[in-house]
């Protein structure tokens, strides 16, 4: 759908509904799930010293498959289909490893509470 073909009334209703807490939580999950999946692929590849079989990844139905496809399309993960122990396997690319490493370098916010 192009910008010109969008119905402004429909877009307004969608914007209003997007403010609902369950839909905001879904939006957050859509944004953050690929981050956790990239971290998981990098950690498992390091631990295994090789490709990560698809059956070892904890995919959420549809969302997980879409997220790994996006990571492959974006060049963060390489998909391998010629490994003997899995239908598909994945390896993080240098770009993916660098992005995941940036997560470890970022200090975690301290929990707020009484001092």
Per-residue pLDDT reduced to its tens digit, 15-54:
999 999 999 999 999 999 999 999 999 999 999 999 999 9
Per the CB < 8 A criterion, the answer to whether 80 and 100 are in contact is no
Please give the C-alpha separations between residue 108 and each of 29, 35, 82, 100, 102, in angstroms, as whole numbers: 19, 15, 38, 14, 12
- How many folded domains does the chain comprise? 1
Is residue 84 assigned to a domain? Answer: yes
b/e 42-63 (16+ beta carbons within 10 angstroms → b): bebbeeeeebbbbeebebeeee
Q: Kindly tell me if the per-residue pLDDT of 106 is higher than 70.
A: no
Residue 112 lies in a domain: no
- What's the CATH number where 41 sits? 1.10.10.10
Owning domain of residue 76: 23-104
């Amino acid at each position: 759908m192009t910008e010109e073909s969008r119905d402004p009334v429909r877009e307004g209703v969608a914007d209003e509904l997007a403010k609902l807490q369950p839909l905001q939580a879904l939006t957050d999950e859509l944004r953050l799930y690929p981050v956790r999946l990239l971290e998981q692929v990098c950690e498992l590849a390091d631990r295994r010293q090789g490709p990560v079989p698809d059956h070892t990844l904890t995919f959420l139905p549809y969302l997980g498959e879409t997220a790994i496809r996006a990571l492959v399309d974006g060049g963060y993960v390489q998909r391998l289909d010629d490994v003997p122990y899995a239908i598909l396997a994945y390896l993080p690319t240098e770009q993916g490893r660098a992005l995941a490493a940036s997560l470890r370098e970022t200090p975690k916010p301290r929990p707020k509470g009484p001092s």
